[in-house]
Structure 1
């Protein structure tokens, strides 16, 4: 069931964390192929009723952002199989579009195609489907057979339910699943060998760790053209805050802020001390992450919680993943509670009938509660339920995400403007590669 997820590196606002680049042609299949438990067990976990006490009914058309053979798609099918066996009045038909789903749903609905449910990155739901999604707040406040007598909203991670509401002015507009976040991932074996027993919390501690790693003959930090803005972007975000960094992506004049040069000099110092991968300027995605696990000579890489899954097929058995939040910087305004986090989400089309909405919502709840752990285990993903068990490779990431309260966009706000992000990214790579000074970096990055 382990599938490599190829991550898309450009998505509107927020976590492209959540999107992947390998597109797939549209394919359909029903969610009624095999059961994983007895009918009586399925019935007790999945059967539900509509508001008026009648059995759930409805023909549900679910358009998904997963590709037909991905572990996530297979898990959704299995969930639908269990759900429909317990609720025979409900039929669920899937259309697995791959990552093109976010673009295809709108035009299909406009053309009159029936779509009851659809999933995508939370930020894509906001940016591309806002006008067609149903307010799910009443369903978040209900109890279900799979919520152990509690309201649904109390059974999922507060950060994930909170994001569902905050993106839509306080109204819950999608059922969150497969949470993800950005942070620093590390080879824990290297940290152990170098005597780094505590994850760095400050910039000074991080630099001390880099020196210890280099002294042992390892490369402290790598990245590639796909994540080029991360190190500079996170330093600037810690130092200035998200709103000021967003100005940098939109206004060349904002780069005259002396704090920007201060941040650039910190990264320049890392380059001078040899803390960055020697090939960082020419590293193309996914070379950095593959080199990290195959060669086992690289200690750190800023990436998303999908990383261990992406490289699982090439990761040695004894490789130990660690992760921690980007450290605080001297004089900064943000601490380690700020970071990039989001999830996929399951939305319901506002044109669904009341009967269809009840059935679709019950299925969305089931996927993200009773089936949540099985989904996570099958897809090597993060569970969204409050009592979910995380994969071993993401145990440290669980602690990081639990502390996030302030949300950055994907790779920070430096990449929010499509007209400037490539210019800024190129400058970041040159700065980390040591081919330009901090002053030249500011000059180069602001020419858009």
Structure 2
């Protein structure tokens, strides 16, 4: 789950490419064959685990599956025109928000199939609720490969600094940062690619994601919450809680050379992070994880987080809806859900798979407590024209080269 799947601007570019391409000619598989377009590459751990699951499903049921690995770019550029052109695609997968926004009109309603099979009994409630929310109130996708965006940290460095408890409030978070600094440890770092998630999380903690979207899409940078957020970040910068490299880090410099090598203690990132840096961090790295802290008089607390998943959708025009759902269930529950999690160092989708890969086990409490959901960057990337200028000025704020007042003024000017 690398950066390629994350940036909303890339989503929109993919959509534009899809609409500009000529319709693809109708392609039909045999009547007894499911066609599954996968976002993975066949050589990736996810692709290999899914191939194994598909082969086992066919061997067990006799249902043939034409599994086509398209990769991220291939899926984004070709899926929409293929569906528009009538190509047989029974199942496809992608990120939850992308599927439910870009491909909603192609999706089969899955409520009855879920009830008939008792699927929901072992699914993560927060993720199923997120799929319903993204689907306009009804279930049109099935989640797998869950992820959560939170503070990941080095447990050994916390212990060295005498930090005994993960912070849940902003005051406790500031105390942790000071303890780390007093121990000669850089409290946290950040990379340019994820900077918008910091500002998004903080603003959404203060006023909720809907208000964040309003601020960035309507240019309401004079909202008091923007100044409050900027003052909180300015305090972190003034106190030396950010790495000296935070103003110049280009992803993946911060996560690879500071967090993984033990010179910075914390990094706000997704649960894919431990897997991305495991070769540099080494087997002895002890991972910890906690939700973005609650802010005083904020709109929500640590029960609301940016979490999500990849999701499976079934084409509403499929001739084999039951078989398609059975295959999805085969992949996302039991043995093959566990194999997928282990292969990719990811989070299981099946709650009965209670043994998580060791590197991401620390995220379990954050997932389990999450009843409210932020989308990617908590809505701060909704206005794609503003995203680059938000990122540029926010990085300067973290680096201490802009004050809170200067940040607000810069954003107000950019929004004119």
Matched, 1:199 2:173: no
| Secondary structure, aligned partner of 1:228 | helix
Number of the residue aligned with 1:28: none
Q: Please report how far the alpha carbon of residue 9 of structure 1 lies from its aligned counterpart in structure 2 after TM superposition.
A: 3.5
Shift of residue 13, structure 1, vs aligned partner = 11
- Answer with 418-427 or 158-167: which moved more: 158-167
- Which residues of 2 match residues 40-189 of structure 1 at below 5 A? 58-88=32-62, 90-100=63-73, 101-143=75-117, 151-189=118-156
Shift of 1:11: 2.8
Q: 1:224 aligns with which of 173, 187, 191?
A: 191
Rounded to whole Å, the distance in 1 between the matches of 2:259 and 2:234 is: 26
Displacement of 1:441 in angstroms is 0.5
Root mean square deviation of aligned Cα:
1.7
In the alignment, the residues of structure 2 paired with residue 165 and residue 9 of structure 1 have an alpha-carbon distance, to the nearest angstrom, of: 21
Provide the residue aligned with 1:373 in structure 2.
338
* 1:264-303 aligned within 5 A: 264-303=230-269
Cα shift at 1:294: 4.0
With over 3 angstroms needed to count, the CA separation of the structure-2 counterparts of 1:327 and 1:81, relative to structure 1, is same
Per-residue deviation, 1:289 = 0.8
Q: What is the alpha-carbon distance in structure 2 between the residues aligned to residue 167 and residue 247 of structure 1? A: 19
Q: Deviations for 1:167-221, whole angstroms, at most 9, x for unmatched residues?
A: 2233211221101111111111111111111100111111111111111111111
The more displaced of 183-192 and 285-294 is 285-294
Counterpart in 1 of 2:28? none
Question: 2: CA distance between counterparts of 1:199 and 1:292?
Answer: 21
TM-score by length of 1: 0.84
Q: Please state if 1:428 is matched with 2:394.
A: yes
Which whole-Å CA distance do the structure 2 matches of 1:5 and 1:248 have between them?
A: 28
- SS across alignment from 1:195: coil
CA displacement, residues 58-89 of structure 1 (integer Å, 9 cap, x when unaligned):
3011101111210001011100111111112x
Cα distance between partner residues in 1 of 2:3 and 2:203: 27
Matched-pair contact (CA < 8 Å) for 1:117–1:347: yes
Residues 258-317 of structure 1 deviation map (CA, whole Å, 9 limit, x = unaligned): 232122111111111111111111111111110234421111111111111111222212
Q: Matches of 1:112 and 1:234 in 2, distance apart? A: 40
Separation of aligned partners in 2, 1:430 and 1:308:
27
After superposing on structure 2, the runs of 4+ consecutive aligned residues of structure 1 that deviate more than 6 Å are none
Q: C-alpha distance in 2, partners of 1:202/1:135?
A: 40
Q: C-alpha displacement at 1:6, in angstroms?
A: 4.7
Assess if the C-alpha contact under 8 Å between 1:234 and 1:326 holds in 2.
yes
Instruction: Give the equivalent residue in structure 2 for 1:341.
Output: 307
Structure 1 equivalent of residue 17 of structure 2: none
Q: Distance in 2 between matches of 1:68 and 1:6?
A: 19
After superposition, what is the alpha-carbon deviation per residue over 1:289-346, rounded to whole angstroms, capped at 9, x for unaligned? 1023442111111111111111122221211111100111122121111111111111
Q: Distance in 1 between matches of 2:187 and 2:279?
A: 23
What SS does the corresponding residue of 1:386 show, helix, strand or coil? coil
Structure 1 position 319 matched with structure 2 position 300: no
* 3-state SS of 1:416 partner: coil
Change (3 A) 1:255 1:221: same
- Aligned with 1:229: secondary structure? helix
Work out which of the residue numbers 213, 221, 243 in structure 2 matches 1:255. Answer: 221
- Considering fraction of residues, name the structure with more helix: 2
* Cα distance change on mapping 1:10 and 1:116 into 2, 3 Å: same
Q: Matches of 1:58 and 1:380 in 2, distance apart?
A: 34
